[in-house]
Amino acid sequence: MIRVLVSRDAIDIAAEVERLEQGGAVATFAGLVRADDGVATLELEHYPGATEAALTRLAEDATARWSLTAVAIVHRVGPMAPGERIVFVGTCSAHRAAALESCAFLIDRLKTDAPFWKRETVEGTTRWVEARAADEDAAARWS
């Protein structure tokens, strides 16, 4: 089972984990909007259709690489405040190593391969968020 959702709605972690629980091991990652550098609001934009397709390809890649019974990628778009959930990634496998590794793979690759554009508001000034070298390095380890 692959579940990909891009939505403006809050992420229900309990419901997402319940969907993943198909026996064996479940690994999850939930990302929160940070308040680094005084960020008051983070807004994500995406290209509907293309974003979901990119996330589905990542989930399919993970499923092909590890023996997974379920994958979920849920990502928010729109305006969010610090502390709000922005992303949920979860995997299920018969064994913990595959669940843990595939979950790490998905979040690392999602940061570089998914077409999202981030805009921060700090002290009333809005700026686009540039890609980070650390994210590129994390994604590269899976090549």
Which structure tokens are listed for 110? 């999602």
Provide φ and ψ at 64, rounded to 5°.
-75, -35
| CA–CA distance, 70 with 1 (Å, rounded to integer) | 5
The structure's pTM equals 0.91
pLDDT band at 63 (very low <50, low <70, confident <90, very high): very high
Asked whether the beta carbons of 32 and 83 are under 8 A apart, the reply is yes
Report the topology of domain 2-140. Aldehyde Oxidoreductase; domain 3 (3.90.1170)
Q: Give the DSSP H/E element, type plus range, for residue 6.
A: strand 2-7
Which structure tokens are listed for 107? 């979040």
DSSP for 7-62, written as a single string? ESSPP-HHHHHHHH-SSSEEEEEEEE---GGGEEEEEEEE-TTHHHHHHHHHHHHH
pLDDT band at 132 (very low <50, low <70, confident <90, very high): confident
Query: What is the model's pLDDT at position 36?
Result: 78
Statement: residue 139 has pLDDT above 90: no
How many angstroms separate the Cα of 73 from the Cα of each of 28, 38, 96, 118?
10, 28, 18, 18
Average pLDDT in the 101-116 region?
A: 92
Query: What is the model's pLDDT at position 96?
Result: 93
